[in-house]
């Protein structure tokens, strides 16, 4: 409490107010929108933090900015961690910022960690599922904003090193509502189109909110489902996104992504020169080996006295020929003996088979002969035909005056029916009737 009779100087009063405020608000978090943003040449940052009802000056000293990534600008809604103090010379109270982050960063950080944990448990960050980048791709799909600095940096590096590289831009929004869905759709479209060696997903730096599209689950799923290797180059070197963890490879910046893909021309030329030198050395070694073999061969007796070696080989050939002919003659004689014996056995078997079949045929022929109608006729039987050639089997088949032909074994008799006599049994049966 102050005594009403106590008189203060302006400085003393201001200092007491500063002490009181610093004791009461030594640690606070205040949220508002940046305006009157001013970075000083010394590296300090001054701005006004305001909302709809009031405003307060804020200073962010250079020493407190270590580790701060997101750039500050007018209109950005931020959350300032710090303390209240008074600038005695001006008599103004102000917030001394110790840390500044985009408003809502705490919630975004929680979402980031939750999704990261979920995808980690699913194995989407595992190294064994990641594909290697092509050594020197010829066709590259780039998913990014066509108007951003990222695509310009990427193309500048590529054009300086390998201007003939085929690049197709899949234009998307890289921040804001719907951007994540566009990015995921473009990654799938690049896979469906085919013909690419690698997909580059990139954008320049920005605040956590600006980069948030690359922390969406739909983008992570699209990268994980890609059949083509995906290179992620989102933000600056200190920025990490979910897309970076899921991608097959991460580049710190868009320019670094281009360097990773095409490398340096002089490095390739140096590597090619080294390979050429190794190939030349290998060829020299092979030539030297063949020379040594030729030298050893030239000292061999066959090379010194070729005529003697030829005579020796001719004699060995003659000896082998005689042995072969002798063995062949014995084999031929043995084969002939075996063949003659087999022929005789076969001939005997055939003769026996013919005799058996002949006896069988003769027996069948005798049986058929006994059943022949001619043989029956020779035994005194005859066959009678009417004038139509039909066999007369009964007296009922003939009529008086009818001409009949009777076949005997040695000819045919032609007669006319003068009288018909029935058997007595049949006549008695007719009389009884």
Confidence of residue 145 (pLDDT cuts 50, 70, 90): very high
Distance CA 219, CA 119 (A): 12
Distance CA 128, CA 201 (A): 21
| Max Cα–Cα distance, the chain, nearest Å | 192
| Mean pLDDT estimate for the chain | 83
Over residues 386-399, mean pLDDT: 84
Q: Tokens at residue 269, please?
A: 């030329």
Q: Give the model's pLDDT for residue 242.
A: 93
Beta-sheet strand order (sheet of 139-144)? 166-171, 139-144, 198-203, 230-234, 249-250
CATH number among 3.30.450.40, 3.40.50.20, 2.40.50.140, 3.30.70.120, domain 10-103:
2.40.50.140
- Burial group, residue 214, by CB count within 10 angstroms (0-12, 13-18, 19+): buried
Q: Tokens at residue 424, please?
A: 């007595």
Q: What is the dihedral of CA 293, 295, 297, 301, to 10 degrees?
A: -160
Is the pLDDT assigned to residue 110 strictly greater than 80? no
For domain 112-126+135-263, which architecture applies? 3-Layer(aba) Sandwich (3.40)
**Closest Cα to residue 95, out of 77, 111, 83?**
83
Among 2-6, 9-13, 220-224, 232-236, the range with the most confident prediction by mean pLDDT is: 220-224
Among 250-254, 307-311, 381-385, the range with the most confident prediction by mean pLDDT is: 250-254
Is the pLDDT assigned to residue 428 strictly greater than 70? no
Is the pLDDT assigned to residue 63 strictly greater than 80? yes
Question: Contact, 82 vs 99, CB < 8 A?
Answer: yes
Question: Contact, 100 vs 72, CB < 8 A?
Answer: yes
Contacts of 277 (CB under 8 A, 6+ apart): none
67-81, 112-126, 204-218, 254-268, range with the lowest pLDDT: 254-268
Is the pLDDT assigned to residue 298 strictly greater than 80? no
Q: Give the model's pLDDT for residue 425.
A: 53
Question: Contact, 78 vs 100, CB < 8 A?
Answer: yes
Q: Give the model's pLDDT for residue 313.
A: 72
Is the pLDDT assigned to residue 199 strictly greater than 60? yes
Distance CA 433, CA 429 (A): 6
Q: Give the model's pLDDT for residue 2.
A: 61
**Closest Cα to residue 117, out of 196, 35, 21, 217?**
217
Distance CA 41, CA 364 (A): 137
Over residues 308-321, mean pLDDT: 76
97-101, 138-142, 192-196, 304-308, range with the lowest pLDDT: 304-308
Q: Give the model's pLDDT for residue 335.
A: 72
The share of the chain scoring above pLDDT 70, in percent, equals: 89
Distance CA 419, CA 408 (A): 21
Q: Give the model's pLDDT for residue 3.
A: 65
Over residues 234-242, mean pLDDT: 84
Distance CA 433, CA 428 (A): 9
Is the pLDDT assigned to residue 125 strictly greater than 80? yes
Contacts of 102 (CB under 8 A, 6+ apart): 70, 76, 77, 78, 79, 108, 207, 208, 209
Over residues 26-43, mean pLDDT: 89
Q: Give the model's pLDDT for residue 402.
A: 85
Q: Give residue for tokens 């103090």.
A: 85
Confidence of residue 195 (pLDDT cuts 50, 70, 90): very high
Is the pLDDT assigned to residue 118 strictly greater than 60? yes
């Amino acid at each position: 409490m102050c005594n009403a009779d106590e008189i203060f100087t302006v400085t003393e009063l201001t200092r007491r107010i500063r002490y009181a405020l610093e004791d009461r608000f030594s640690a606070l978090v205040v949220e508002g929108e940046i305006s009157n943003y001013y970075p000083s040449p010394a590296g300090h940052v001054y701005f006004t933090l305001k909302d709809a009802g009031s405003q307060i000056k804020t200073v962010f000293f250079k020493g407190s900015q270590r580790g701060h990534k997101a750039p500050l600008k007018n209109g950005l809604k931020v959350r300032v961690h710090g303390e209240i103090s008074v600038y005695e010379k001006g008599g103004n109270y102000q917030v001394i910022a110790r840390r500044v982050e985009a408003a809502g960063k705490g919630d975004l950080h929680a979402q980031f960690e939750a999704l990261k944990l979920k995808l980690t448990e699913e194995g989407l960050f595992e190294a064994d599922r990641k594909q290697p980048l092509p050594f020197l791709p010829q066709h590259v799909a780039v998913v990014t904003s066509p108007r951003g600095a990222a695509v310009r940096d990427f193309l500048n590096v590529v054009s300086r090193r390998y201007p003939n590289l085929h690049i197709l831009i899949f234009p998307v929004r890289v921040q804001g509502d719907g951007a994540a869905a566009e990015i995921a759709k473009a990654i799938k479209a690049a896979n469906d189109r085919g013909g690419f060696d690698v997909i580059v997903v990139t954008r320049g730096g920005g605040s956590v909110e600006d980069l948030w599209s690359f922390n969406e689950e739909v983008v992570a799923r699209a990268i994980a489902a890609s059949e083509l290797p995906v290179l992620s180059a989102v933000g600056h070197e200190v920025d990490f996104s979910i897309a970076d963890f899921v991608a097959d490879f991460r580049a710190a910046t868009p320019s670094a992504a281009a360097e990773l893909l095409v490398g340096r021309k002089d490095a390739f030329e140096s590597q090619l020169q080294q390979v050429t030198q190794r190939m030349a050395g290998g060829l020299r070694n092979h030539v030297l080996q063949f020379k040594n073999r030729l030298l050893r061969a030239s000292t061999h007796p066959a090379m010194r006295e070729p005529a003697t070696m030829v005579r020796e080989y001719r004699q060995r050939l003659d000896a082998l020929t005689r042995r072969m002919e002798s063995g062949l003659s014995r084999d031929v004689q043995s084969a002939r003996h075996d063949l003659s014996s087999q022929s005789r056995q076969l001939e005997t078997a055939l003769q026996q088979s013919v005799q058996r079949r002949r006896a069988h045929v003769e027996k069948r022929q005798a049986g058929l002969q006994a059943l022949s109608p001619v043989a029956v006729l020779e035994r005194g039987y005859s066959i009678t035909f009417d004038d139509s050639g039909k066999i007369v089997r009964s007296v009922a088949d003939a009529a008086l005056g009818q001409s009949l032909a009777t076949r005997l074994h040695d000819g045919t008799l032609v007669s006319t029916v003068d009288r018909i006599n029935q058997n007595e049994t049949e006549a008695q049966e007719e009389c009884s009737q």
